[in-house]
Amino acid sequence: MNQTQTENNPRTYMGTAVVLTKGLFHLSDAKTAHGLVRGTERFKIMGVIDEVNAGKDAGVVLDGIQRDIPIFPSIQAFTGVTGTIPDYAVIGVALCGGRLDDAWQDLILDVMSQGISIVNGLHMPLSDIPTFKEAAEKYNVDIIDFRRSKPFDQLQYWTGKVFDITTPKIAVLGTDCALGKRTTSRMLMQMCQANGIKTEMIFTGQTGWLQGSPYGFILDATPNDFVCGEIEAAIVECAKKSNPDLMILEGQSALRNPLGPCGSEFIVSANAKGVILQHAPFRKLFDMVEAFGCCLPSAEDEIKLIEMYGAKVIAVTLNGEGGSREDLIRYAQHLKTTTQLPVLDPLNDDLSTLLPTIRAFIDN
């Protein structure tokens, strides 16, 4: 059986799952897996399949927090130890170009042979490949290629209805890709909800869907002409169905990323008036194009660019990769001085310190 679109309500729990990372769990390539380990309403994560990090707890490897999600070297090791077969195996990596090599394809076929359905968020649609179609039929499992574009007649074109939505919107934008924009967006949503602010996140990437966010779309699976309309449609649907106090918009890539600039849509077409900027101060070159010497802008310079689009940067969140905790604290203090904005590390600092800023944004 082949399934390319999930018709369930986006918040519907789908079942148990393992996450496939094939030796990459400790790297940023496994950011999809990292999001699932941090939390998801769509699946119950039973384990991670990763031969390099086998024997460890996934949470401890990720950020030092025990989450009781064990890492196994193979799917056979998982089933042998747990005595269970999960409903799904989720491909938990974001590979350059979204293409799976032969070793990855062999792993997925091996998993399917155990009677486990595959959830694939990469650009490479497995259910179109004869080998995988045959395996799905042979083992009576599903292939869910959820990164396919919607059928043409379901795509939304921008209409301007977003200007009728009065719900305050904060876009979490970044100075590069793979900085943690989705993680910060989800943490902000949860923090606001815990403090009495009814908040929804508009997801725009594969991990947001996997985590069970109810509103959104997958931006890089959408034809460019319809990106702005799909953002708008998600916002309008969210306002109609949930009527939140605040919407958090998950940004993608960066305004100046040469691999695929993105971000203006959230300000110009989604009408987000507030921005929280995610920045990695110790990352000097854009991810995956380091050989070309493409330098990241400073946070101060990016703030100026964002505000030229008509939005207000209300805070800066930091990714400390490549530097020590002490270096990050010093940088944060420097940036607070130069920008007069709240600056913090969402993984290590108390996000609730942003509550006064967020409440003021909502009120104004």
| SS3 per residue for 126-176 | HHHCHHHHHHHHHHCCCEEECCCCCCHHHCCCCCCHHHHCCCCEEEEEECC
- In the chain, what percentage of residues exceed pLDDT 90? 93
What is the per-residue pLDDT across 63-112, written as a single tens digit (0 to 9) for each? 999 999 999 999 999 999 999 999 999 999 988 778 899 999 999 999 99
> 39 and 186 in one domain?
no
**12 pLDDT tier (thresholds 50, 70, 90):** low
pLDDT for the residue numbered 97: 76
How far, in Å, are 80, 184, 265 from residue 228 at the CA level?
47, 22, 6
CATH of residue 198's domain is 3.40.50.300
Mean pLDDT is lowest, of 14-18, 138-142, 145-149, 333-337, for: 145-149
Q: Is 343 helix (H, G, I), strand (E, B) or coil?
A: strand
How far is it, in rounded angstroms, from Cα 234 to Cα 202? 7
Domain enclosing residue 269, as ranges: 154-363
Is 160 a domain residue?
Answer: yes
Give mean pLDDT, residues 166-182. 97
Residue 6's pLDDT is 38
Shared-domain flag, residues 221 and 344: yes
pLDDT in tens, 41-57: 999 999 999 999 999 99
pLDDT tens digits, one per residue of 177-210:
999 999 999 999 999 999 999 999 999 999 999 9
In a domain, 235, yes or no: yes
**Whether residue 108 sits in one domain with residue 165:** no
* Residue located via tokens 């799909």: 230
CA distance readout (Å), 208 to 65, 122, 182, 204: 21, 14, 7, 7
Do 72 and 181 fall into the same domain?
no
* pLDDT over threshold 60, residue 275: yes
To the nearest whole number, what is the mean pLDDT of the chain?
Answer: 95
pLDDT of residue 95: 84
Tokens for 76, please give them.
Answer: 């056979």
User: How does DSSP classify residue 297?
Assistant: P
Whether residue 276 is predicted with pLDDT greater than 50 in this model: the reply is yes
Q: Give CA 223 to chain center in angstroms.
A: 19
- Which pLDDT score, from 0 to 100, does residue 2 have? 37
pLDDT attached to residue 5: 35
pLDDT at 3: 37
Answer with the one of 145, 175, 191 that is the final residue of a domain. Answer: 145
What pLDDT digit, counting tens, does each position of 220-268 carry? 999 999 999 999 999 999 999 999 999 999 999 999 999 999 999 999 9
How many domains would you assign to the chain?
2
Both 40 and 181 in a single domain? no
Is 319 a member of any domain? yes
**Where does a domain end: 121, 145, 169?**
145
Mean pLDDT of the 156-175 span: 99
Place of tokens 């991670």: 48
CA–CA separation, 354 and 149 (whole Å): 36
pLDDT on residue 1: 38
pTM of the model: 0.92
| Cβ neighbours, 10 Å, residue 2 | 16
Angle between helices 181-194 and 31-38 (to 10 degrees): 10
Last residue within a domain, chosen from 145, 167, 198: 145
Could you write out the DSSP letters of every residue in 49-86?
Answer: E-SSSTTSBHHHHHHS---S-BEESSHHHHHHHH----
Same domain? For 123 and 169 the reply is no
Q: How far is CA 82 from CA 47, 51, 77, 139, in A?
A: 10, 17, 8, 21
CATH of the domain at 69: 3.40.50.720
